[in-house]
Structure 1
Amino acid sequence: MAGKREEQQSATRRDRRRRNAAALAAVCTATAWAAITALVARRGAELTHAAPLVLAAASPRLICSDLTEQRLRNGDLVVTYTGTLCVITAAAVSQASPGPFVRAVAVSLALLTAGAALTLTTGQFGGGDTKLAAVIGLALGPDAWAAPVVAVLYGFVLAAGAVAVRACAAKARRTPRPTTIPMGPFLLAGALTASLTARPA
């Protein structure tokens, strides 16, 4: 009987985490859409500047899956990468200017390589995080070389802050310190921050 009660309580806690994750994803996405749309309007109607909107549109599923399942689904990442690639390709063709496209692809590959190295050497950066970093490189790369790199750095800083807060909370409650943290939401938050502050190349 006690075992069933514990199982029900565990299921209730999981459902509560899923609902909280969904609510957080909705708030983050609404903020991202509003902020990036305002940024696109401010910078002009160039198609290249719409690339971050694809990332913003994909944020709900990415955040929810990472918070509730501790993983970023390959299907979601492939769709996001493909959609972003289509936007910047269309921009390069319509404007007859391949520079932003080349820059975005180069930064994306660089972040993919760096993320893979982190995954292999530290084990603290998952395969999904590596692919998401590549998507961020593709989405923010057309505007500036540094923007995607800064976005990932922002993500690490935000994640480090969250780890510190969770460690302090665990110490206060005398519970085990959490050993893992989903990086996806922090990388996306870093991308939003970088996209709002980046200066065009």
Structure 2
Amino acid sequence: MSETPSVPVPDPAAEPRPRLLGLFPAADAETRAALRRDALPIALGALAVVVALAARGGFTLLLPAHAAFAVLASALTALDLRLRRLPDALTFPAYPVLLALLALPGDGPALLRALLAALALTAGYYALAFFGGAGFGDVKAAATVGLILGCTGWRTLLAGTVYASLLAAAWALTLLLTRRASRRTQIPFGPFMMSGALLALLL
């Protein structure tokens, strides 16, 4: 008597989810699992930044954009530390969301400056990636940093870029001195990019 062949049951977690509005890539199972695992620190980190921003500048029309960026920065930091990548599923949808929120104050010149800053910072990180100094996830995330900092001003954009470089250099030096890494060790740059941008908004 022949046995009935078993039919494999699909794993819902492994199946790709529909793309948002058919435009943006969907987060894969690994990304979704990491976000669920780190949901509490991501939320607390974003909340702390939003409170600090509100305390510093008050409840302005730019606060919603800054709050959205704080959530994005916290999520990308957690994902880069855990998975060593900055998923397109988070960075790509952030472009129109940040643009829409930055348009709330109705400041046309500031919005144009934000777009130019995003292009400039993306081009700079693309040049770094071409020579092996950055990953292409960093290139795509740089546009969000350019938007949020460029809207405030070119000096803020420059400050955020400098802060990111200094933080990354300090961490790399610490790892070298403690012999936890060598000169060839690659460290995720996303957390420093995001931290530098948030520092530029807060200081």
- Superposition TM-score tier, normalisation by shorter sequence: 0.7 to 0.9
Match of 1:108 among 95, 118, 131: 118
Q: TM-score, normalised by structure 2?
A: 0.73
Match of 1:145 among 154, 160, 165: 154
CA deviation digits over 1:30-52, x for unaligned, max 9? 34433343423543433224322
| 1:155 maps to 2:169 | no
8 Å Cα contact 2:42-2:75 kept in structure 1 = no
Q: TM-score, normalised by structure 1?
A: 0.73
Larger radius of gyration: 2
Match of 1:78 among 80, 87, 92: 92
1:188 paired residue number = 194
Once the 2 structures are TM-superposed, how far is the Cα of residue 130 of structure 1 from its aligned partner?
1.5
8 Å Cα contact 1:107-1:137 kept in structure 2 = yes
8 Å Cα contact 2:121-2:146 kept in structure 1 = yes
RMSD of equivalent CA atoms: 2.5
Matches within 5 A, 1:121-136: 122-136=131-145
**Alpha-carbon separation, structure 2, partners of 1:44 and 1:111:** 28
1:159/1:176 CA distance change after superposition, 3 Å: closer
1:155/1:52 CA distance change after superposition, 3 Å: same
Once the 2 structures are TM-superposed, how far is the Cα of residue 182 of structure 1 from its aligned partner?
0.2
Match of 1:66 among 64, 67, 80: 80
**Alpha-carbon separation, structure 1, partners of 2:60 and 2:74:** 25
- Matched positions, count: 169
8 Å Cα contact 1:51-1:140 kept in structure 2 = no
**Alpha-carbon separation, structure 2, partners of 1:148 and 1:176:** 31
Match of 1:168 among 172, 177, 181: 177
2:109 paired residue number = 99
| % identical equivalent positions | 31
2:168 maps to a residue whose letter is A
2:108 maps to a residue whose letter is P
**Alpha-carbon separation, structure 1, partners of 2:56 and 2:78:** 30
**Alpha-carbon separation, structure 2, partners of 1:149 and 1:47:** 23
8 Å Cα contact 2:52-2:202 kept in structure 1 = no
1:110/1:176 CA distance change after superposition, 3 Å: closer
1:62/1:35 CA distance change after superposition, 3 Å: closer
**Alpha-carbon separation, structure 2, partners of 1:161 and 1:152:** 14
1:117/1:91 CA distance change after superposition, 3 Å: same
Greater percentage in helix: 1
8 Å Cα contact 1:107-1:141 kept in structure 2 = yes
